[in-house]
Amino acid sequence: MRFLTALSIAAFFLLSPTTGIAQGLFENAGNESKDSASVDTPSKALQIGGYVKGALFGGQDNAEKTIMSGSYGQAALKLSAEKSGLGTVFAEARLNAGYKRGSAFATVDIREAWCGISPGPFDIKLGRQIIQWGRADAVNPTNTITPKDETALSSESDDTRLGNELLQIKAKAGISSIQGVWIPCYRPDVLPIADAEIPSGISIEDPQYPDIRFSNGGYALRFEVTHPSIDGSVSYFNGYSTLPGFDFSPGQTGLSLIPRAYRIHAAGADFSTTAGSLGLRGEAAFKYPFDDYDDLVHVPNPYVQYVFGIDKSIGNWSVLLQYSGLSVIDYKKLAKPALKDSLDPYAVKMYMAALASFEIDKMNRLFTGTSDQVSHSLLGNIQWSTLYETLHLKLAGMYNFTTKDYAINPSISYDIADAVNLAVGGRSVDGPDESQNSMVSNLMSFVYTELKVSF
């Protein structure tokens, strides 16, 4: 069914590690867990920066015809200021215009806009923010706060992150800190199904997301220790998952699909350290839904996701390997229903309802990566910098040992000047017949060229 294929594509966009690997497996390496604007913390009264970028993306459609997947221009403006060491502000606005997968668009995105104060040992920030937790690369099980738009056409994984209105309070004490985050408003991941070709008899209803009430707010806590020999943290999240599930409602004229948010507990931990010349990173999270996952089709089973990575630099070479696994708790294999009596109207009605539940359950498991009881993936990246570190060659990839899906992402970037960069690259995504990657191969495989001038 074409629409279920489109929904499988959405699942791939949102949860497969392929896009993270393809866009920036090395981007987090060597960085401590931090919010996205922390590197912009000003030392002067006012700082103004940003960039202008032009990009072209090409690929194939489902008929194997060469197409222009995207063509756009983007201008970003960043403002930051500090008042007497007490008050801090940061804002980033992006103007975008062009074509994306056949549709023209022009948008203004206030990506972040927040104010902060630092009385004594406290740091307090209020406004639209992007917070990234976790020390692993590409796959971050503990990063439950920031929603994503994996449909973004960009060579930079940071462009997939979406800001949300947050209150963040951090208290520092020596090498440790306690951080609390309140999330008053729910912002979901982007579901790439708005333009899907929907067969007759199937419709998408308005999503059922929590309204703005105090009881619907989410919160997160993290205790972090930063030491010369090892960094680490433990965290807890109580709120709605940024990735909604799909519920359904059978009617007289067909089937209605309903995106529906669900609330979860998420307990996590991460660390980073070194062993000689090796960098070691690990991260794990246990996610458990509030609602009854046996009775509600849109609510996933509880599961544990874990990541372990090793990185090493040798001269101008950098190498990273990362293992990622997921284990489903209370796993039950889906059984496709059978029609017992095709001449009995009641049996046919019950069969159709059971079949719809089976298909939606299968789709939701794709969304959360819980189709198999245990799954294993290996991710890797090798990078070489030459010509006085102005030319950068990267090769990233992912292979899922459970599903046999894979992705390969080569790229070359050249620093024409201090603030001028030209990048070309591509991504190839595929897998066995009827696998998730096979279904989205033409959509997710592309080549690109980007020219970026920063100021």
8 A C-beta contact, residue 421 and residue 413:
yes
Q: Which two tokens stand for residue 218?
A: 């989410």
Q: What is the pLDDT along the chain (455 residues), one digit of tens a residue?
A: 443 444 443 444 334 444 444 444 544 433 444 454 444 444 567 899 999 999 999 988 767 788 888 999 999 999 999 887 789 999 999 999 999 878 899 999 999 999 999 998 999 999 999 998 988 877 889 999 999 987 788 888 888 899 999 999 999 999 999 999 999 999 999 876 654 555 566 778 889 999 999 999 999 999 999 999 999 999 999 999 999 999 988 766 678 889 999 999 999 999 999 999 999 999 999 999 999 999 999 999 999 999 999 999 999 999 999 999 999 999 999 989 888 888 888 888 888 888 888 888 888 887 788 989 999 999 999 999 999 999 999 999 999 999 888 999 999 999 999 999 999 999 888 888 766 677 677 777 889 999 999 99
Distance from C-alpha of 298 to C-alpha of 439, rounded to nearest angstrom: 22
Instruction: Compute the Cα dihedral for 411, 450, 139, 12 and give only its sign.
Output: negative
CA nearest 75: which of 103, 113, 106? Answer: 106
HSE at residue 38, side-chain half, CA atoms within 13 A, is: 11
Write down the domain spans for the chain: 2-454
The pTM of this model reads 0.84
Distance from C-alpha of 187 to C-alpha of 326, rounded to nearest angstrom: 25
Q: What does CATH list as the number for 2-454? A: 2.40.160.10
Which residue in the block uniquely carries the two structure tokens 């209803």?
205
Distance from C-alpha of 71 to C-alpha of 57, rounded to nearest angstrom: 6
Q: Which two tokens stand for residue 397?
A: 């990839």
**Using the 8-state DSSP alphabet, how is residue 28 labeled?**
T
Checking 366-369 for CB contacts under 8 A at 24+ apart, the result is 366/7, 366/8, 366/11, 366/12, 366/436, 367/10, 367/11, 367/14, 367/15, 367/243, 367/245, 367/246, 367/300, 368/15, 368/243, 368/245, 368/300, 368/303, 369/15, 369/16, 369/305, 369/326
